[in-house]
Structure formats: C-alpha cells, structure tokens
Amino acid sequence: MLSGGDTDRMRDILATFGNVVACGDLGAGAARKILLISAAIGNLALAAELITIAERLGVADAPDLLADGPLSAAIARSRATAADFPIRLAAKDIEIALDYAPDDTRRPVLEAVRQRLAGDPDQEADIRELFPRSS
C-alpha cells in the first residue's frame, strides 16, 4: 500500500490491506502508483507483442523464454487467473499518466500502449487477454 500524507496516524488501518509504504506528502502514494502501474502495463503490452512475433518466428517457448528475463513479472501476470484488472482500467491509468506529461514532451511509448488498450474490443476483459491464447 503506497500511502501519502499522515501515514503514521492511519498505519494500523492501512495495514489491513497489506504492507504500508510511506511515500511523503498527500498524493505522493497515488503519484507513485501511476508510475508503477504504467510501467507494468507497458511491460505487459510489450511482452504480448513479443510473443506474437515469436510465434511468427517459430519460437514456441517464447513465454518461458521471456519469463526468465526482464519481462518475468509481465509473463507471470499474463498467467495469473485469480487476478482481475479490466483493460478499461489499465487504459484509464495510462491516460492519467499521459495527462501529467508536459505538452512539449514526446511520449510515443505510452501513446502506443494507450492506443492498444483503447482499441481492444473487450474492455472488460482482464489485461492478460492482451496475450495470444497460446501463451
């Protein structure tokens, strides 16, 4: 639990949701959450695309290959069946990150992730559905 503001006063209550990480001023936890979730969503989208390319290249074990590298968390999330994070909420989080980007800053990676998520026909599907069915 990333917490901003007066974390000490609320620590016992917040701890019922998990480990509490004090992040500083009010809003600091939410800011960190946007950064972390945007990185995770971007990695999921990248891993899904790499698996699609791997299938065309004849690399049948691409998910296992990627699971042993820097995209291991994305592959683990793609295999999780107990989680439920709708694509529409992932798109919303990317939109929030983009809202904070300076107008004069290029952000082609986040824009591409946003377009991929927004273009998915099943916005209520879990984000693991970005992956090809064979993975």
pTM of the model as a whole:
0.88
How far from 40 is each of 7, 36, 55, 133, CA to CA, in Å?
25, 6, 23, 20
The CATH superfamily holding the domain 34-130 is N-(1-d-carboxylethyl)-l-norvaline Dehydrogenase; domain 2 (1.10.1040.10)
Domain boundaries, the chain: 34-130
What confidence tens digit (pLDDT) does each residue in 56-84 have?
Answer: 999 999 999 999 999 999 999 999 999 89
Question: Tell me, what's the pLDDT at 119?
Answer: 95
